[in-house]
């Protein structure tokens, strides 16, 4: 804007550094010319000051743009929550709005377990719990409600408004039934099939704390919010200021990982400093919610291939989070990776399995010059995430220095 203003000034008022002196200039014309030159110089100096101020402001607000990509339920939103705890204003703005999300997460988990019990044809271990089971059989739209509330909670956080409390009322009406059913051996047996019935990873956490969640004055803790499952709708932008960093401002774009949401990614691909790609390494035995014929880990690998080798990202560094290692450690005690990945020939232990999946992702990269930084993460663990976020900050700073030609 200042540049165009300068051009206008030069055309209207003349160039003070190379003034045109007409031949046979009269004293009056000379006087007017000198006046114009003074005005032009004054105008130019004002523009110089404006340009300098704009440059200084740009330097002060220099930011890094990062894309947070990955399949649905890989843990992207949890990482953003951790960033708010570590480098933002914490989770206070959304704390109360998350109460109904926590309540819906509990209802969703128990609905999945009771549906599995019904479809398997098994009976409850304690006949007294039949009345509680009947109450849940009447709840038919819990997952739809959860997805709808994912949208409304984001709007509530943005607009700082509270939505209706229907979800929490439904939860409190069913809290006694949830506790009774969760203590039933038949329901616990259904829980062992968590991967097959689409049960969310944090289901046990929520079902173990029903009594606390049912208190009239319940306010979600940081751990409750970190464990809560919220489906990202559309694209959300988050800004974090990291003091002492260069750049100091990080703009992170979180996009929905559900297949139906991926069509909205492209407009955010321009001018990206780095990509954080998340994959749930524990999902090797699970299928997509939107397509039960597709293995979640294979979907993540295919998506990573597409992103990693996209023409716009050919030289863009990627920070790969292989997430949910805490769940993986427990899962491989009972489930064999080779039953889902026939190409896996190693031992069914944590180190061998994680190395295998790391190689699987790195093998997708067709550009040997591209840097891919791998982290094994437990996104709900704030202590671990502090270390990893610091590492990501260092990586982005090195990228910034490299782009500036300083290294």
End-to-end alpha-carbon separation of the chain, Å? 33
6-15, 338-347, 351-360, 379-388: which has the minimum mean pLDDT? 6-15
Over 65-116, what HEC string results?
EEEEEECCCCCHHHHHHHHHHHHCCCCHHHHCCHHHHHHHHHHHHHHHHHHH
SS3 51: helix
Distance CA 253, CA 239 (A): 9
pLDDT exceeds 60 at position 18: no
SS3 322: strand
Is 354 annotated as belonging to a binding site?
A: no
Q: Tell me the average pLDDT across 207-215.
A: 96
pLDDT exceeds 90 at position 305: yes
Is 326 annotated as belonging to a binding site?
A: yes
Output the CATH code of domain 61-90+234-403: 3.40.50.300
Is 203 annotated as belonging to a binding site?
A: no
Is 75 annotated as belonging to a binding site?
A: yes
Q: Tell me the average pLDDT across 28-48.
A: 74
Structure confidence at residue 56 (pLDDT): 58
CA distances from 177 to 102, 109, 216 (A): 17, 13, 17
Taking the model in full, what pTM does it have? 0.75
Distance CA 115, CA 113 (A): 5
With cut-offs at 50, 70 and 90, classify the pLDDT of residue 32: confident
Is 403 annotated as belonging to a binding site?
A: no
Is 227 annotated as belonging to a binding site?
A: yes
pLDDT exceeds 60 at position 157: no
Is 77 annotated as belonging to a binding site?
A: yes
Structure confidence at residue 2 (pLDDT): 43
The residue among 109, 296, 39 whose CA lies nearest residue 47 is 39
Return the number of other C-beta atoms located less than 10 Å from residue 230's C-beta. 21
The residue among 316, 320, 405, 304 whose CA lies nearest residue 369 is 316
Secondary-structure percent of the chain, ordered helix, strand, coil, rounded to 5: 55, 10, 35
Q: What are phi and psi of 63, to 5 degrees?
A: -130, 160
pLDDT exceeds 90 at position 35: no
Which helix H or strand E contains 309, and what residues bound it? none
Is 4 annotated as belonging to a binding site?
A: no
Instruction: Judge if 61-90+234-403 and 97-219 fold alike in CATH terms.
Output: no
Structure confidence at residue 261 (pLDDT): 62
**CATH superfamily name and code, 97-219:** GI Alpha 1, domain 2-like (1.10.400.10)
pLDDT exceeds 50 at position 17: no
156 vs 297, higher pLDDT = 297
User: Sign of the C-alpha dihedral, residues 39, 41, 44, 45?
Assistant: negative
Instruction: Please compute Rg for the chain using Cα positions.
Output: 29
Is 325 annotated as belonging to a binding site?
A: yes
pLDDT above 90 covers a percentage of the chain that reads: 36
The DSSP call for residue 165 is -
Q: Are 219 and 225 in contact (CB under 8 A)?
A: no
Is 74 annotated as belonging to a binding site?
A: yes
Is 323 annotated as belonging to a binding site?
A: yes
Q: What is the pLDDT of residues 40-98, one digit of tens each?
A: 677 667 776 776 665 555 555 567 888 888 888 898 889 989 988 988 888 888 888 88
Is 280 annotated as belonging to a binding site?
A: no
Is 379 annotated as belonging to a binding site?
A: yes
Could you tell me the two tokens for 392?
């990501």
111-120, 253-262, 268-277: which has the minimum mean pLDDT? 253-262
CB neighbour list of residue 128: distance below 8 Å, 6 or more residues apart = 180
Hunting for tokens 């699987």 — which residue is that? 360
pLDDT exceeds 70 at position 162: no
Work out the widest C-alpha separation in the chain, in whole angstroms.
Answer: 115
Is 201 annotated as belonging to a binding site?
A: yes
Could you tell me the two tokens for 48?
């110089």
Is 78 annotated as belonging to a binding site?
A: yes
Is 232 annotated as belonging to a binding site?
A: yes
Q: Tell me the average pLDDT across 361-373.
A: 92
Is 228 annotated as belonging to a binding site?
A: yes
Is 324 annotated as belonging to a binding site?
A: yes
Please state, rounded to an integer, the average pLDDT across all residues of the chain. Answer: 80
Could you tell me the two tokens for 274?
């780095």
Structure confidence at residue 278 (pLDDT): 94
The DSSP call for residue 271 is T
Distance CA 302, CA 245 (A): 34
Query: Structural domain boundaries of the chain?
Result: 2-59, 61-90+234-403, 97-219
């Amino acid at each position: 804007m200042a540049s165009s203003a300068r051009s206008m000034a030069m055309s209207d008022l003349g160039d003070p550094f190379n003034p045109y002196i007409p031949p046979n200039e009269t004293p009056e014309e000379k006087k007017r010319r000198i006046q114009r030159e003074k005005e032009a110089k004054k105008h130019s100096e004002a523009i110089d000051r404006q340009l300098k101020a704009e440059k200084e402001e740009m330097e002060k607000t220099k930011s890094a743009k990062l894309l947070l990509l990955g399949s649905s339920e890989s843990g992207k939103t949890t990482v953003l929550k951790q960033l708010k705890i570590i480098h933002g204003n914490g989770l206070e703005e959304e704390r109360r709005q998350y109460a109904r999300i926590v309540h819906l997460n509990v209802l969703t988990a128990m609905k999945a377990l009771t549906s599995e019990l019904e479809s398997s044809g098994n009976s409850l271990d304690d006949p007294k719990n039949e009345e509680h089971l009947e109450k849940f059989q009447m709840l038919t739209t819990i997952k739809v409600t959860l997805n709808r509330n994912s949208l409304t909670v984001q709007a509530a956080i943005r607009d700082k408004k509270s939505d209706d409390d229907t979800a929490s009322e439904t939860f409190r009406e069913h809290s006694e039934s949830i506790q009774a059913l969760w203590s039933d051996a038949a329901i616990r047996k259904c829980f062992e099939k968590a991967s097959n019935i689409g049960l969310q990873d944090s289901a046990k956490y929520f079902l173990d704390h029903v009594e606390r969640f049912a208190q009239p004055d319940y306010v979600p803790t940081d751990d409750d919010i970190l464990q809560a499952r919220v489906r990202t709708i559309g694209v959300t932008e988050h800004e974090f200021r990291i003091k002492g960093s260069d750049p100091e401002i990080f703009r992170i774009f979180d996009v929905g990982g559900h297949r139906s949401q991926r069509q909205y990614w492209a407009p955010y691909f321009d001018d990206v400093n780095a990509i954080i790609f998340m994959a749930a390494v524990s999902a090797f035995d699970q299928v997509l919610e939107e397509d039960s014929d597709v293995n979640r880990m294979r979907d993540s690998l295919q998506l990573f291939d597409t992103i990693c080798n996209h023409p716009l990202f050919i030289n863009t560094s990627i920070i790969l989070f292989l997430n949910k290692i805490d769940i993986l450690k427990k899962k491989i005690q009972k489930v064999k990776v080779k039953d889902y990945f026939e190409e896996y020939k190693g031992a069914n232990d944590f180190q061998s399995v994680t190395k295998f999946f790391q190689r699987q992702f790195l093998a997708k990269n067709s550009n040997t010059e591209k840097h891919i930084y791998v982290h094994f993460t437990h996104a709900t663990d704030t202590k671990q995430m502090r270390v990893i976020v610091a590492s990501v900050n260092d990586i982005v700073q090195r990228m910034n220095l490299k782009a500036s030609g300083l290294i």
